Amino acid sequence: MKTSTLKKLIGTTVASLCLVSVSGLPAVAGQLHNGWNYGIDSFTDGSGGESFNIRGIAIKETSDSVFVALTGGTPLAGNAYSRAADGNIGWGDLFLNFTNKKFTDASSQKSLFGVRFAEMNDSGVATTGLYGNVTGASVTGENSGYISLKEYYDHGFDTANTQGTDIATKQAAYDYFGDTTSILNVIDSGAKLGGIVSWSATDLQNQGLDFGHFTAQGTQTFGFSFNKSDLGLADGNYDYMASIFLECGNDGVALKGKIDVPEPGSLAGLALVGLTVLGSRLSKRQS
């Protein structure tokens, strides 16, 4: 067998084994489909109608990137609204909580990660990107919205899955976010860790995204990705809760998931197994 062919086979074997080791484990919760982990939100809990309604979130992990997709009736650039301080109401920032603590506790301890992906929103950080050591802030007041989750629920939105299938009840939402505390929906402060790449609905569909499988496809679908290494996580498996609210607090969604960072030794071991199998096959062919 030619040396070039052997190199290709070795590369393919190692790459395949590495992919299995990184992304082969199921997520903690959510609903898996086509390699994506989905959190499906109630379709009728967007206060103000479909323009302020989130239908779902989905996250996909590859060996080196984390992809996030959102769908609903709110465009990435937001909706014009005269009663908002800046004349626009859009998406807040995405938060990732790896601490297994309540959201407000993780925020006060600067233990959250956050992603500003909407350039026109009221985030406290200057540019889009992934941030660490994050604390949250509320901008619902500036956006003619709900001050607290209790106020939101008291306005008639106490239905199933108002924060998605992973925080499916009012009590579960209170337990995680708090009831009368402010809805923290944007990054207040944090250290920038890296940039993001924006993706269109078509781009994400080419990556296997399929909100339609859950009858959750909204009129607006978009997403972004960031480098997994920018999180700075050591080798291991990390459970997280992802969450996001609109700037007005009129809707939100959360998703439980897992990020896997393989140990270099494990990858080397898998690669060695692959090379051993490959060598055995080559030996048989030559004999």
Task: Average the pLDDT over 147-156 and give the result.
Answer: 97
- pLDDT, mean of residues 129-143: 98
Average pLDDT value for residue range 18-38: 63
Say which residue, 15 or 125, is predicted with more confidence. Answer: 125
Mean local confidence (pLDDT), 233-244: 96
Range from 2-6, 92-96, 208-212 carrying the lowest mean pLDDT: 2-6
Predicted pLDDT at 30:
84
Whole-number percent of the chain with pLDDT over 70 = 82
Neighbours of 248 (CB within 10 A): 29
As a whole number, mean pLDDT of residues 24-49 equals 84
Given a contact cutoff of 8 angstroms between Cβ atoms, the answer to whether 162 and 121 are in contact is no
Give per-residue pLDDT as tens, 182-195.
Answer: 999 999 999 999 99
Residue 264 pLDDT grade (very low, low, confident, very high; cuts 50, 70, 90): low
Tokens of 276: 């051993």
d(CA 191, CA 117): 15
Distance CA(7)–CA(212), nearest Å, equals 41
What's the burial of 63, exposed, middle or buried (CB within 10 Å: 0-12/13-18/19+)? middle
Angle at 229 between CA 226 and CA 233, to 5 degrees: 120
What's the pLDDT score for residue 29?
72
| Prediction pTM value | 0.83
- C-beta of residue 199 within 8 angstroms of C-beta of residue 65: no
Phi-psi bin for 59: left (phi > 0), alpha (psi -120 to 50), beta?
beta
**What is the reported pLDDT for 25?**
33
CA torsion, ordered 73, 76, 80, 84, to nearest 10 deg: 100
| Whether the predicted pLDDT of 179 surpasses 70 | yes
